[in-house]
Amino acid sequence: MNTRSIIPLTLLAIASFTSQAEQNNETHRIGAQLQGGDAEYRNSSQDGDGVGSVYLYYNYQFDSTWALELGINGGSEADDWDCKDITTDKYVCNRNDNLLFELDANKLDYSNFVVAAKGQYKVTDNSYFYGKLGAQLYDYEIAQNSKKLKQDDGVGLFAEAGWQYDWDNGIALNVGWQYMDMGDLDTSSLALGISYRF
């Protein structure tokens, strides 16, 4: 190897170590996810049992692999819409307000406070597979209009797995699958998120 090839390789190695060191010194991350999926109440799943939620979180990164996550989640039922093309310019849409969970219910609201461990595995320089596992404090209510039919709170399982792309400027995008066990109520959702590392 001659001197001319050693110098560029040395500079490249120093640049990669500097970039890695910058990411390691940025131990905080805040993020938000939009989620949509299905819910089951006492193993009853039917058409119309869709849910949507917003999840906000904070990560403290211990090292390049492990982080502690604290998050809050708020969700509710998501109604389907049936749209028909009447003419080339006109659509008619009707809301499919199906009853939830084979109960005489049309409303679901839930909230969660999450504490979880997050692990990540580097796939390329900027992309990772990640997994989260922890517990969440939950509170939910199932109702028919203003009449409460079911209500519960407690501690349940929280799990998420997915893929994240992390730019050098601190912004990251992720897509994943999230599961929450809230006693008799379970949700599983597709999550799309954005976060910022600092």
DSSP 93-118: EEEE-PPSTTSS--EEEEEEEEEEEE
What value does the mean pLDDT take over residues 50-75?
96
Mean pLDDT of the chain: 86
Least confident range from 48-52, 125-129, 137-141, 181-185: namely 48-52
Please determine, for residue 134, whether its predicted confidence score (pLDDT) is greater than 80. Answer: yes
Whether 195 contacts 30, CB under 8 Å: yes
What value does the mean pLDDT take over residues 173-186?
97
pLDDT of residue 19: 42
Task: Quote the percentage of the chain above a pLDDT of 90.
Answer: 65
152 burial (CB, 10 Å; 0-12 / 13-18 / 19+) is middle
Q: Among 100, 94, 95, which Cα is nearest to 140's? A: 100
Residues 5-51: pLDDT tens digits?
Answer: 556 555 554 444 434 434 557 899 999 999 999 999 987 766 557 89
Residues in contact with 39: Cβ distance below 8 Å, sequence separation at least 6, in sequence order: 49, 50, 51, 77, 100, 101, 108, 185, 186, 187
Whether 33 contacts 54, CB under 8 Å: yes
Q: Among 23, 47, 50, which Cα is nearest to 164's? A: 23
Please determine, for residue 55, whether its predicted confidence score (pLDDT) is greater than 60. Answer: yes
Ordered structural domains, the chain, with CATH: 27-197 (2.40.160.20)
Q: Do the strands 185-197 and 66-78 form a parallel or antiparallel pair, or are they unpaired?
A: unpaired
Q: What is the pTM of this model?
A: 0.79
Token look-up 């406070």 returns 113
pLDDT of residue 2: 52
Least confident range from 19-23, 38-42, 84-88, 98-102: namely 19-23
pLDDT of residue 85: 76
